[in-house]
């Protein structure tokens, strides 16, 4: 088996083209036979070579491999990919910013990228490549001239953030928040905090820098270490004030940063991007320009106009914490309102109780109309509620229910695909 540095030289000569999907082979790439829950890339090494990969890495025993120098046998293809990406990261002079959290990771990553790229050569995590396979692929996007790499890290169980952090070795670390997400793995909010702060623990151990939302009491206790703190306090590094509006606006030293980003829950995401921009010497006007040009997409807090209706499409994912924040932000909008929510997934034993709390919160906020879709929400349909319940989207589509209100919020877990509701609103 070749040494890591030997494989790294092969990667470098391929311009760090790494493929793991034999259906999407790029000519000259190096293919890694990665095993997933529903596939085994080792079964496609010959296919990858035939389609144009210059090398294929496999950990499967196969006597037919011995005669082909283009196929390299290793003990574990995934760990080899991870070690190579770590070697690449350590070979770079780029500063790495590691981001995790229960909600807002991708939006924060994109906002920071938008700000830093105005002055620096910057790359960021590709799409949602934020797990033990995707993160290494994102690191391979670092080039010789890259100055900042913004790396998103996701997890649904203990130890995963620690692993990802050990691979990307961030110079700066930021946790967006601690919410009730992936409770099947984390059990409760204390478990979420324990898992997410694996990032901060690595930062402290390796004497790097923590970015802290000082308004978050669970983060505030980490300001004893090397840190940058932002929040509503004149003693913080960056004292920000929230300006009330449908869109996020932030006041700093009499300068108003204004955005086209909907939702008060995005306030801290914007503040994190501003804080890092200021910390790295970017002019306030440049920061503001980049923030104003940022548009939400991919079903994340998108503002969509349909006739005279304004639809807030926040259907990329959902958990109790993000649901609560979305409902509260939506409630302060003026005018009549309809809220359409889909089931939340991966909540374990707390699932029904958390769905019940969301129904109660919606009805307390007295929206013009509350519609709940999915088996979890539907289990409460026989209780005394003023809301409307549907067991699935098909039942909703066939109901003939009219949505006349001018403000509409659509949110649910990814598996619910709540964006499909859009085509039934006119």
Sign of CA dihedral 230, 176, 109, 261: negative
How many whole angstroms separate alpha carbon 234 and alpha carbon 366?
37
Contact (CB, 8 A) for 104 and 89: no
Contact (CB, 8 A) for 316 and 300: yes
Q: Tell me, what's the pLDDT at 1? A: 54
Q: Tell me, what's the pLDDT at 386? A: 81
Domains by residue range for the chain, with CATH: 4-82 (3.40.1390.10), 92-292 (3.40.1190.10), 302-424 (3.90.190.20)
R_g of the chain, CA atoms, integer Å: 23
Q: Using H for helix, E for strand and C for coil, what is the string for 288-310?
A: HHHHHCCCCCCCCCEEEEECCEE
The β-bridge relationship of strands 172-175 and 148-152 is unpaired
Question: Global pTM?
Answer: 0.92
Q: Tell me, what's the pLDDT at 60? A: 84
Q: Tell me, what's the pLDDT at 64? A: 66
Q: 80: burial class by Cβ within 10 Å (0-12, 13-18, 19+)?
A: buried
pLDDT (tens digit, 9 = 90+) per residue, 8-52? 999 999 999 999 999 999 999 999 999 888 888 999 999 999 999
Complete edge-to-edge strand list for the sheet that includes strand 255-262: 241-243, 247-252, 255-262
Strands (E), 232-363: 238-239, 241-243, 247-252, 255-262, 302-306, 309-314, 337-342
Q: Tell me, what's the pLDDT at 157? A: 85
How many whole angstroms separate alpha carbon 371 and alpha carbon 405?
13
Residues 6+ apart with CB under 8 A from 343: 355, 373, 374, 375, 376, 377, 412, 413, 415, 416
Residue-level length of the chain:
426
How many whole angstroms separate alpha carbon 269 and alpha carbon 183?
23
Continuous segment of H or E residues that includes residue 408: strand 407-411
How many whole angstroms separate alpha carbon 308 and alpha carbon 19?
45
Angle at Cα 355 formed by Cα 349 and Cα 358, nearest 5°? 140
- Output 39-42 pairs: Cβ under 8 A, ≥24 positions apart: 41/77, 42/77
Angle at Cα 398 formed by Cα 365 and Cα 323, nearest 5°? 30
How many whole angstroms separate alpha carbon 330 and alpha carbon 312?
8
How many whole angstroms separate alpha carbon 423 and alpha carbon 390?
17
**DSSP, residue by residue, 367-401:** -SEEEEESHHHHTTTTSS-SSEEESSHHHHHHH--
- What is the pLDDT tens value at each position of the chain, 426 positions in all? 567 888 999 999 999 999 999 999 999 999 999 988 888 899 999 999 999 999 999 998 776 666 788 999 999 999 999 999 999 999 999 999 999 998 899 999 999 999 999 999 999 998 889 999 999 999 999 999 999 999 999 988 899 999 999 999 999 999 999 877 677 767 788 888 899 999 999 999 999 999 999 999 888 888 777 899 999 999 999 999 998 778 999 999 999 999 999 988 999 999 999 999 999 999 999 999 999 999 988 888 999 998 899 999 999 989 999 999 999 999 988 889 999 999 999 898 889 999 999 999 998 887 778 999 999 999 999 887 789 999 999 999 999 898 989 999 999 999 999 999 998 887
Strands (E), 7-137: 18-19, 30-32, 55-58, 71-73, 95-100, 122-124
How many whole angstroms separate alpha carbon 153 and alpha carbon 125?
9
pLDDT (tens digit, 9 = 90+) per residue, 363-397? 888 777 899 999 999 999 988 778 999 999 999 99
């Amino acid at each position: 088996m070749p040494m890591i540095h030997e494989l790294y030289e092969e990667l470098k000569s391929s311009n760090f083209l790494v493929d793991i999907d034999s259906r999407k082979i790029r000519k000259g790439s190096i293919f890694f036979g990665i095993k997933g829950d529903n596939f085994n890339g080792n079964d496609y090494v010959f296919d990858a070579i035939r389609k144009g990969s210059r090398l294929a890495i496999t950990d499967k025993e196969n006597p037919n491999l011995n005669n082909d120098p283009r196929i390299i046998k290793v003990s574990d293809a995934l760990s080899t990919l991870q070690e190579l990406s770590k070697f690449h990261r350590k070979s770079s002079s780029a500063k790495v910013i590691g981001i995790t959290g229960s909600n807002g990771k991708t939006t924060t990553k994109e906002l920071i990228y938008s700000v830093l790229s105005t002055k620096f050569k910057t790359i960021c995590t590709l799409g949602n490549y934020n797990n033990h396979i995707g993160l290494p692929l994102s690191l391979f996007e670092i080039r010789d001239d890259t100055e900042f790499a913004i790396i998103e890290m996701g997890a649904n169980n203990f130890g995963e953030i620690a692993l990802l952090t050990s691979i990307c070795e961030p110079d700066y670390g930021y946790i967006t928040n601690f919410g009730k997400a992936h409770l099947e793995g984390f059990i409760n909010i204390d478990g979420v905090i324990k898992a997410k702060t694996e990032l901060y623990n690595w930062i402290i151990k390796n004497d790097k820098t923590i970015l802290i939302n000082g308004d978050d009491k669970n983060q505030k206790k980490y300001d004893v270490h090397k840190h940058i703190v932002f929040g509503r306090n004149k003693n913080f590094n960056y004292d920000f004030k929230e300006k009330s509006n449908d869109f996020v606006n932030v006041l700093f030293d009499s300068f108003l940063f204004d955005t086209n980003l909907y939702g008060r829950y995005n306030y801290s995401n914007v503040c994190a991007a501003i804080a890092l921009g200021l910390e790295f010497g970017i002019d306030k006007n440049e920061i503001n320009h980049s923030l104003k040009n940022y548009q939400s997409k991919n079903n994340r807090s998108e503002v969509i106009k349909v006739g005279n209706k304004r639809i807030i499409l926040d259907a990329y994912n959902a958990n109790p914490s993000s649901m609560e924040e979305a409902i509260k932000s939506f409630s302060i909008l003026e005018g009549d309102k309809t809220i359409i929510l889909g089931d939340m997934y991966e909540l374990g034993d707390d699932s029904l109780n958390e769905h019940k709390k969301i129904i109660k919160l919606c009805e307390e906020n007295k929206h013009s109309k509350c519609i709940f879709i999915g088996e979890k929400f539907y289990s409460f349909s026989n209780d005394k509620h003023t809301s409307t319940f549907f067991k699935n989207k098909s039942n909703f589509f066939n109901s003939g229910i009219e949505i006349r209100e001018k403000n509409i919020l659509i949110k649910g877990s990814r598996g619910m695909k709540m964006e499909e509701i859009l085509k039934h609103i006119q």
